[in-house]
């Protein structure tokens, strides 16, 4: 062959493109598909939470369902699903239904109705299969009544008693009823104010005086002079407070008597009556006749109630204000505790320590702290902080309250310290990054000007690293707000009687138990009487928690991005 022919042959043989196997298109699809699956999972999850969370508070229509067996039930349709009826049930159905079900591979469909009236029926929800339904109607006068106890009521107003006179419900105009309801709610607020706040203050003062007396007795002996002096001082004060208490109790009784003159009789769709005080009704609306603006109003008012009110009905209704409060209080305390420890350790690692064994030991410890499961921190917090340190504090400072523990059990302080220990690695890593980002030249310049090491750190390095430290603290807050496992052991409760931060001296009560949003989710979902009733509430709380954490993370990311931009051009 001639050279030209050889070259031509070679050119013909030369590959025009990479062969398929080397290009690896299936492998690209495999890796990309994995990524897309992950992204779809996240998106699906977020959408699920968003959809269910946002849709929970919308007021739905009430269907009055006439069943094939003659009974009637009324309820709000919650969801529908496919299910397999058992063979015995199939045998009892008419042939056209059996055919229809067979055509669907043995699947029929059923709807879950929220029938409410737990005190009458013993159940909140009922499944109705579509083959059981004879007729469905949506009458305009059926109301959905949210009550202070026993959950919602589905039915109609029968009679209304205002100021002692009883009238049939249809003779009372909607506006008059609304006005009476508003006044009843105000009265209820006032009763609550008298009982909770005023009587509560009197009780607290009496308890304080009694504890003072007991403390004197414990310290000096029951018959001693110091004890009798204290008793002489305390007893008249107690008598005065008792008088005040009686007065307030009388006022409360008076208000309650007035309240009980305003009642309403409801009846369910079968005519069973139920009598209530007008003030026990939280909200009511004619579910099939409200129209879009009314629905929007109810939706907004439910959201407002959720964010600002206390829970009802074992946490399955009402609001989560105490939980938000508790989460915020604990997270703030945690940040106050973790900031010094984290920043100091990072400073040590970056500025002070000589590279060598000690530094690697500290780094290994930080990595191990980061890897320890959160429940182990909870165990340590309970055993060491609460039962050991707390018990000693009780012996030293609160002996008069024993055997009831003050600090010797879980509470706000121990929870914050436990979570501070848990989130220290996050702060350390973020602070180290921030300190490393401060250019060396600035440090050297400061030292050249005659500043000492501490002066350099305090005046130059730390202020420049502050945004990074803030990022770390915000990330720690986000992490702490989501941890539930250690808190289950050290201080979170299902229902806290008081807020940990309130207007009573010393304002921040470190020994009180508190509620927490994450624990609220666990509790309502798994420890309520009816988890189906609790599910909507859990979705809304989940949405709130995710929104809070996302906000905190977004803030951290924005701060970090701005920090990067600031330092982009600061090399000199």
Partner 1 sequence: MVQARASERKQRPPRAVTAYLRPKQTPRRVVWQDRIADWTISIGGLAVILAVIGIMAFLVDVVVPLFLGGRVVASHRYELPKTSGRPLLVLADEEGILAGRIDEGGTFTSFHLPSGREIQALALNLGPTRVTAFARTIQGGDLIFGFADGSVRFARLDFDGRIVAATDVPPDARALEAGHRTDGAAVYAALPGGQMRRVAAKLELLEAEAVSPTGRPIVALDYRVGGNRERPTRAVVAVDEAGAILLTRSESRLNLLTRELTTDVRRSVLPPVAVGSTVVGVLLTQRADEVLLGKADGTLHRFDVRDFDRPVLAETRDVAPGRAEITSLGFLIGEQSVVVGTSTGDVHVYFRVAAPEARTTDGRALVLAHELEPHAGAVTAFTPSERSKAFATADANGAVWLRHATSEQVLLRPGAERRADVTALSLASRDDGIVTLDSSHTATYWRISAPHPETTLQTIFGRVWYEGYPEPTHTWQSSSGTDVFEPKFSLVPLIFGTLKATVYSLLFAVPLALLAAVYTSEFIHPRVRATVKPAMEMMASLPSVVLGFIAALVLAPLVETWIASVLLFLAAFPFTLLAGAVLWQALPTRLALLLEGVPKLGAMVVAIGLAALLSQQLGAPFEDAFFGGDFRLWLDGGRGSGEPLLFLILLPLSFGAVAWLASRLVGDRVDGWLRDATPLAAAAIDGARWLVLFAAAALAASGVASFLSLLGLDPRNGLVGTYVQRNTLVVGFAMGFAVIPIIYTIAEDAMSAVPSHLRAASLACGATPWQTAIRVIVPTATSGIFAGVMVGMGRAVGETMIVVMAAGNTPILDWNVFNGLRALSANIAVELPEAVKDSSLYRMLFLAALTLFAMTFVVNTVAEVVRLRFRRRAAQL
Q: How many residues make up the chain in this entry?
A: 572
In terms of Cβ atoms closer than 10 Å to its own Cβ (0-12, 13-18, 19+), residue 532 is: middle
Select 434 or 481, whichever has its Cβ closest to partner 1: 481
- Residue 394: count other Cβ atoms within 10 Å of its Cβ: 20
Among 98, 228, 301, 374, binds partner 1 (CB under 8 A): 374
Which one, of 331, 512, 548, 322, lies nearest residue 419 by Cα?
331
- In angstroms, give the least distance from the CB of 81 to partner 1: 8
Q: Does 204 bind partner 1 (CB under 8 A)?
A: no
- Total residues in contact with partner 1, by rule CB under 8 A: 102
Phi first, then psi: what are they for 105, rounded to 5°?
60, 35
Among 7, 8, 9, 29, binds partner 1 (CB under 8 A): 29
Select 68 or 561, whichever has its Cβ closest to partner 1: 561
Which one, of 449, 385, 392, 391, lies nearest residue 421 by Cα?
385
* Three-state DSSP state, 24: coil
Q: Which of residues 470-499 bind partner 1 (CB under 8 A)?
A: 478-479, 481-485, 488-489
Q: Which of residues 67-86 bind partner 1 (CB under 8 A)?
A: 81-83
The label of the residue with tokens 């992950």 reads: 38
Select 75 or 486, whichever has its Cβ closest to partner 1: 486
Q: Does 397 bind partner 1 (CB under 8 A)?
A: no
Q: Which of residues 512-531 bind partner 1 (CB under 8 A)?
A: 518-519, 521-522, 525-526, 531
Phi first, then psi: what are they for 267, rounded to 5°?
-135, 145
Select 62 or 426, whichever has its Cβ closest to partner 1: 426
How far, in Å, CA of 86 to CA of 80, rounded?
18
Among 102, 308, 368, 459, binds partner 1 (CB under 8 A): 368
With CB under 8 A as the contact rule, which of the stretches 126-134, 149-157, 312-320, 455-463 interacts with partner 1? 455-463
Q: Which of residues 46-65 bind partner 1 (CB under 8 A)?
A: 48-49
How far, in Å, CA of 127 to CA of 231, rounded?
65
List the structure tokens of 355: 């590279």
Q: Which of residues 111-130 bind partner 1 (CB under 8 A)?
A: none
Among 6, 8, 9, 27, binds partner 1 (CB under 8 A): 27
* Three-state DSSP state, 231: helix
Select 238 or 353, whichever has its Cβ closest to partner 1: 353
Q: Does 239 bind partner 1 (CB under 8 A)?
A: no
With CB under 8 A as the contact rule, which of the stretches 286-294, 324-332, 362-370, 497-505 interacts with partner 1? 362-370
Q: Where are the beta strands (DSSP E) in 116-198?
A: 125-129, 133-137, 143-147, 152-162, 165-168
In terms of Cβ atoms closer than 10 Å to its own Cβ (0-12, 13-18, 19+), residue 258 is: middle
Q: Does 341 bind partner 1 (CB under 8 A)?
A: yes
Q: Does 17 bind partner 1 (CB under 8 A)?
A: yes
Among 535, 536, 540, 560, binds partner 1 (CB under 8 A): 535
DSSP 160: E
Query: Can you say whether residue 150 is alpha, beta or left, with left for phi > 0 and alpha for psi between -120 and 50 degrees?
Result: left
Q: Does 347 bind partner 1 (CB under 8 A)?
A: yes
Among 75, 85, 378, 390, binds partner 1 (CB under 8 A): 378
With CB under 8 A as the contact rule, which of the stretches 27-35, 191-199, 243-251, 395-403 interacts with partner 1? 27-35
Select 127 or 526, whichever has its Cβ closest to partner 1: 526
Query: 27: part of which helix (H) or strand (E)?
Result: helix 25-55
How far, in Å, CA of 101 to CA of 44, rounded?
31
In terms of Cβ atoms closer than 10 Å to its own Cβ (0-12, 13-18, 19+), residue 553 is: middle
Select 38 or 271, whichever has its Cβ closest to partner 1: 38
Which one, of 73, 238, 151, lies nearest residue 528 by Cα?
151
Among 168, 237, 344, 547, binds partner 1 (CB under 8 A): 344
Select 260 or 367, whichever has its Cβ closest to partner 1: 367
How far, in Å, CA of 491 to CA of 327, rounded?
12
CB 118 within 8 Å of CB 86: no
With CB under 8 A as the contact rule, which of the stretches 57-65, 151-159, 228-236, 421-429 interacts with partner 1? 421-429
Among 260, 452, 459, 570, binds partner 1 (CB under 8 A): 452
- In angstroms, give the least distance from the CB of 106 to partner 1: 8
Q: Which of residues 251-290 bind partner 1 (CB under 8 A)?
A: none
Q: Does 563 bind partner 1 (CB under 8 A)?
A: no
């Amino acid at each position: 062959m001639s050279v030209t022919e050889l070259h031509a042959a070679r050119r013909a043989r030369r590959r025009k493109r990479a062969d398929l196997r080397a290009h690896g298109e299936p492998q690209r699809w495999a890796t990309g598909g994995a990524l897309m699956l992950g992204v779809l999972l996240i998106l699906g999850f977020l959408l699920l939470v968003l959809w269910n969370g946002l849709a929970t508070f919308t007021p739905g229509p009430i269907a009055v369902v006439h069943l094939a067996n003659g009974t009637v039930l009324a309820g709000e349709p919650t969801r529908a699903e496919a299910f397999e009826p058992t063979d015995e049930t199939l045998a009892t159905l008419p042939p056209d239904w059996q055919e229809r079900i067979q055509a669907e591979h043995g699947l029929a469909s059923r709807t879950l109705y929220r029938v409410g009236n737990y005190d009458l029926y013993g159940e909140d929800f009922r499944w109705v299969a579509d083959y059981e339904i004879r007729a469905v109607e949506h009458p305009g006068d059926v109301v959905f009544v949210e009550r202070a106890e026993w959950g919602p009521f589905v039915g109609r107003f029968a009679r209304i008693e205002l100021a002692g006179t009883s009238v049939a419900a249809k003779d009372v105009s909607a506006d008059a009823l609304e006005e009476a309801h508003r006044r009843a709610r105000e009265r209820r607020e006032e009763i609550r104010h008298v009982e909770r706040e005023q009587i509560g203050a009197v009780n607290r003062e009496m308890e304080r005086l009694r504890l003072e007396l007991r403390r004197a007795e414990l310290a000096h002996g029951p018959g001693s002079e110091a004890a009798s002096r204290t008793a002489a001082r305390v007893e008249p004060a107690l008598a005065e407070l008792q008088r005040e208490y009686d007065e307030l109790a009388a006022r409360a009784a008076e208000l309650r008597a007035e309240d009980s003159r305003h009642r309403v009789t409801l009846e369910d769709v079968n005519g069973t009556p139920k009598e209530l005080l007008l003030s026990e009704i939280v909200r009511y609306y004619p579910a099939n006749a409200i129209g879009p603006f009314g629905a929007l109003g109810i939706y907004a008012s439910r959201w407002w109630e959720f964010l600002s009110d206390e829970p009802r009905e074992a946490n399955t209704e009402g609001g989560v204000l105490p939980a938000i409060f508790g989460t915020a209080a604990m997270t703030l305390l945690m940040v106050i505790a973790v900031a010094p420890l984290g920043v100091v350790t990072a400073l040590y690692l970056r500025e002070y320590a000589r590279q060598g064994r000690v530094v690697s030991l500290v780094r290994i410890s930080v990595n191990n702290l980061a890897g320890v499961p959160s429940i182990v921190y909870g165990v340590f917090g309970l055993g060491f902080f609460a039962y050991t340190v707390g018990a000693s504090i009780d012996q030293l400072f609160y002996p008069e309250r024993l055997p009831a523990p003050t600090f010797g059990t879980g509470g706000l302080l121990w929870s914050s310290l436990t979570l501070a220990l848990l989130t220290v690695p996050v702060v350390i890593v973020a602070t180290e990054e921030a300190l490393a980002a401060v250019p060396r030249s600035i440090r050297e310049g400061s030292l050249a000007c005659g500043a000492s090491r501490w002066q350099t750190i305090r005046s130059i390095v730390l202020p420049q690293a502050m945004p990074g430290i803030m990022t770390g603290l915000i990330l720690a807050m986000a992490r702490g707000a989501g941890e539930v496992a250690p808190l289950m052991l050290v201080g979170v409760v299902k229902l806290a009687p008081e807020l940990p931060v309130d207007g009573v001296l010393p304002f921040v009560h470190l020994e009180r138990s508190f509620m927490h949003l994450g624990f609220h989710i666990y509790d309502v979902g798994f420890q309520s009487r009816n988890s189906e009733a609790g599910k909507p509430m859990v979705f809304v709380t989940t949405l709130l928690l995710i929104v809070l954490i996302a906000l905190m993370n977004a803030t951290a990311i924005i701060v970090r991005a701005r920090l990067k931009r600031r330092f982009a051009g600061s090399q000199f």
